[in-house]
Amino acid sequence: MMIKQNVPELRFPEFSGEWEEISLSSLLEFNNGLNEKKEQYGHGRKFINVLDILNNDGIYYDDIIGSVSASEKNEEIYKVEHGDIVFLRSSESREDVGKSNVYLDEEEFALFGGFVIRGKKQGDYHPYFLNLALATP
């Protein structure tokens, strides 16, 4: 009888060993987004919201639609940086709740809104690959 190992048949040469199952919480630290007064929206730092997650294949600062003026303290708390994953916390359709996207800009940080959950990069992972993995059924 042959013992089945947790190793794929096809491998890239630089990888070896068995696959390891890890939890998202070992890679990401999760937080809910920023909610400011209505007067603070429309100017300031770019602000990731629902449409930015749904309409992009990776998010870059210049592609973000909205903006918000926040204090330095809130900018630090609600900062989204390269490799962070953002998830839809709520949406107009049930199917969209939980969808994710990755922030890929390496130059500028953005902020994230109240309908979004940020997964702050804590572990070692390839951001674009994790985003693709999260998008698979």
Q: Which pLDDT tens digit goes with each residue over 10-23?
A: 778 887 778 788 89
Q: Predicted confidence band at 121 (pLDDT cuts at 50, 70, 90)?
A: very high
- The predicted model gives 37-46 an average pLDDT of 96
Which residue from 71, 53, 73 is spatially nearest to 63, judged by alpha carbons?
53
Residue 103 confidence class, pLDDT cut points 50, 70, 90: very high
Find residue 117's DSSP bridge partners.
Answer: 32, 87
- What's residue 4's pLDDT? 54
What is the pTM assigned to this prediction?
0.85
pLDDT, mean of residues 62-68 = 96
Least confident piece of the model among 14-23, 40-49, 66-75, 125-134: 14-23
Low-confidence winner among 51-55, 76-80, 88-92, 113-117 (lowest mean pLDDT):
88-92
Statement: residue 85 has pLDDT above 90: yes
pLDDT of residue 1: 47
Using the predicted structure, report yes or no on whether residue 44 has a pLDDT greater than 90. Answer: yes
The region that residue 2 occupies, defined by phi over 0 for left and psi between -120 and 50 for alpha, beta otherwise, is beta
What is the edge-to-edge ordering of all strands in the sheet holding 41-48?
A: 66-68, 41-48, 110-112, 79-80
Cα–Cα dist 25/30, whole Å: 8
Q: How many CA atoms are closer than 13 Å to the CA of 137, on its beta-carbon side?
A: 1
What is the secondary structure of 57-93 as a DSSP string? SSB-GGG--EEE---HHHHHHTEE-TT-EEEES--SS
DSSP 106: S
| Max mean pLDDT range (11-15, 20-24, 56-60, 67-71) | 67-71
